[in-house]
Amino acid sequence: MAADLPGIVRLRDRREALTLRTILTAARGLFAERGYARTPIRLIAQQAGVAPQTIYAHFGSKAGVLGGLVDLLDDEAGLPDLVASVEDLPDPADLLGVLARASRQVRERCGDIVAILSSGAAVDPDIAATQAEGARRNRMGVEMVIERIRSAGHHVEPRAADIAVALMSAGVHDSLVGEAGWSLDDYEEWLRKTLVSAILG
């Protein structure tokens, strides 16, 4: 059948991906503006130009939409490309530089999503679960880079992953960029040097 031709399947996949992104973008703006608890599915649907049933079909619930923001964050912050770049970097300082770049891009491109999760995690279990998933993915990426450095024969601080996760935290970024007025370039360069010093010694 014509509907099963590869080109039509790819077009259908692209349309579905566009619909998902539109829903997540609408939810992102509404959650930031109104808060998660005060944003009903019908309002997300209205903002995205889809039926509420479309949201339920793709995400299952409002909590599912919130969980989708972690995928959106990964994509918009360019994390898949950064992960892929790790394969071509033999130098441990350059590998740690990828972590610094990832931390910068998450804050620069998706600071609103980070803020939504940070501000609501203490009061809403859905937000807390989504924040925990984001933290789990972040730690996995850090551990992948640390293991690559270690397996190449370089000495690595035994608690390297814990140190990197702490240095890359939103609190450190907010203190330096938000409160002290550092530029994102200053923050990224400081983070790179500090990760190299703390992890490689």
pLDDT tens for residues 125-145? Answer: 999 999 999 999 999 999 999
pLDDT at 1 over 50: no
- pLDDT at site 169: 96
Distances in whole angstroms, Cα of residue 112 to Cα of each of 12, 73, 77, 119, 198: 30, 10, 12, 10, 29
d(CA 14, CA 20): 10
Q: Which CATH superfamily is domain 2-60 in?
A: Homeodomain-like (1.10.10.60)
**What is the pTM (predicted TM-score) of this model?**
0.87
Please say whether the beta carbons of 31 and 39 come within 8 A: yes
Q: Which of 12-26, 37-51, 113-127 has the highest mean pLDDT?
A: 37-51
Please say whether the beta carbons of 169 and 138 come within 8 A: no
The domain limits of the chain are 2-60, 73-200
- The pLDDT of 109-133, averaged and rounded, is 92
d(CA 72, CA 113): 9
- The pLDDT of 19-31, averaged and rounded, is 96
Q: Residue 201's pLDDT band (boundaries 50, 70, 90)?
A: confident
- pLDDT at site 7: 55
pLDDT at 119 over 50: yes
pLDDT at 58 over 70: yes
- The pLDDT of 77-93, averaged and rounded, is 93
d(CA 194, CA 144): 19
pLDDT at 8 over 70: no
Q: Residue 158's pLDDT band (boundaries 50, 70, 90)?
A: very high
126: which residues sit within 8 A by CB, 6+ positions away? Answer: 36, 62, 63, 66
